[in-house]
Amino acid sequence: DNIVNTILREDSLLSARLREKNLSFDDIALLDNPSVIRIIRETDPVEIEKALRTADYRVREKIMNNLSSEVSEKVRNNEGRPILIADIEAAQNRITGLLKKLMEQGEIAFA
């Protein structure tokens, strides 16, 4: 971990290449707010709701803070409903795919 963190801090070009190839759903926490909003706008609210079920608290907060109050309330109201882990993982994978696509197009940025 120390080696990777040092590379990420000291070599911005290599860091960008690593991020492009190894993006995960958790990387949403590292995006700036306009980028998070872009992802939200291109994602069905039901997918966001599913993806947030097992999300890291930093990712959850980053997304929840950028949702409209209406969608945010819907997500909170549906938290107790049962959902299959496979559905959660599929939603996270679709959002990660969108993240990669937007990153490759240079349309989103890390904070």
| Predicted local confidence at residue 7, as pLDDT | 65
Report the alpha-carbon distance of residue 2 to residue 49 in Å, rounded.
34
Per-residue pLDDT band at 10 (split at 50, 70, 90):
confident
Which two structure tokens, joined as six digits, stand for 108? 């989103």
Please write the tens of the pLDDT for every residue from 16-64. 665 666 788 998 998 999 999 999 999 999 999 999 999 999 999 999 9
Residue whose structure tokens are 């706008």: 41
Average pLDDT, the chain: 87
DSSP letter assigned to residue 52: G
Q: What angle do CA 25, 47, 56 make, to 5 degrees?
A: 35
Please write the tens of the pLDDT for every residue from 100-111. 899 888 888 777
Report the alpha-carbon distance of residue 85 to residue 17 in Å, rounded.
30
Instruction: Flag whether pLDDT at 1 surpasses 60.
Output: no
